[in-house]
């Protein structure tokens, strides 16, 4: 019986010691670095891409009316008007109501710089 206990004990030691020395190597994963906001904006290919990313085309088309007016119609209405960029920026940033019918435009989640880019682009459309 003592030999049997000795054999079980030795077998246990052998089994437990087999795993030692083979430490699992952990793969080093570099954390994903998020670009600063200014660099993310700079990566856009232009104002149309900015409008796409911000969801503007859900309600506006460039040449076709959707929920809101077509951008070419906005450009026509404000053509040659002094302060047009500022007025469009204000509508984009704060929303508007009654300019194009009864459906209001909610304030949009854009920065002032983005609103200016969008306003200038809209006014450039023909």
All structural domains of the chain, each given as residue ranges with its CATH number in brackets, are 39-126 (1.10.760.10)
> CB atoms < 10 A from the CB of 61, how many?
16
Q: Which positions ≥6 away from 61 have C-beta within 8 Å? A: 70, 71
Q: List the pLDDT tens digit at each of the 126 positions of the chain.
A: 555 444 444 444 444 444 444 444 455 465 555 544 444 444 547 999 999 999 999 999 999 999 999 999 999 999 999 999 999 999 999 999 999 999 999 999 999 999 999 999 999 998
pLDDT for 124 equals 97
Residues 51 and 61 sit within 8 Å (Cβ to Cβ): no
pLDDT for 19 equals 47
pLDDT for 126 equals 86
pLDDT for 5 equals 46
Residues 114 and 54 sit within 8 Å (Cβ to Cβ): yes
Residues 100 and 106 sit within 8 Å (Cβ to Cβ): no
Alpha-carbon span 124 to 11, nearest angstrom: 83
Alpha-carbon span 67 to 60, nearest angstrom: 7
> CB atoms < 10 A from the CB of 50, how many?
17
pLDDT for 77 equals 97
pLDDT for 33 equals 52
- What DSSP designation does 105 have? B
The two structure tokens encoding residue 64: 């076709």
Q: Is 82 left (phi over 0), alpha (psi -120 to 50) or beta?
A: beta
Q: What is the pTM of this model?
A: 0.64
């Amino acid at each position: 019986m003592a030999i049997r206990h000795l054999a079980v004990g030795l077998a246990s030691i052998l089994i437990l010691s087999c795993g030692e020395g083979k430490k699992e190597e952990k793969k080093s994963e570099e954390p994903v670095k998020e670009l600063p906001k200014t660099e993310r904006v700079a990566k856009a290919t232009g104002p149309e891409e900015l409008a796409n990313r911000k969801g503007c085309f859900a309600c506006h088309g460039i040449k076709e009316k959707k929920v809101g007016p077509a951008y070419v119609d906005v450009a026509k209405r404000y053509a040659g008007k002094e302060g047009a960029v500022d007025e469009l920026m204000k509508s984009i940033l704060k929303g508007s109501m009654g300019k194009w019918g009864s459906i209001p435009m909610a304030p949009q989640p854009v920065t002032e710089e983005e609103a200016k880019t969008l306003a200038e682009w809209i006014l450039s459309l023909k």
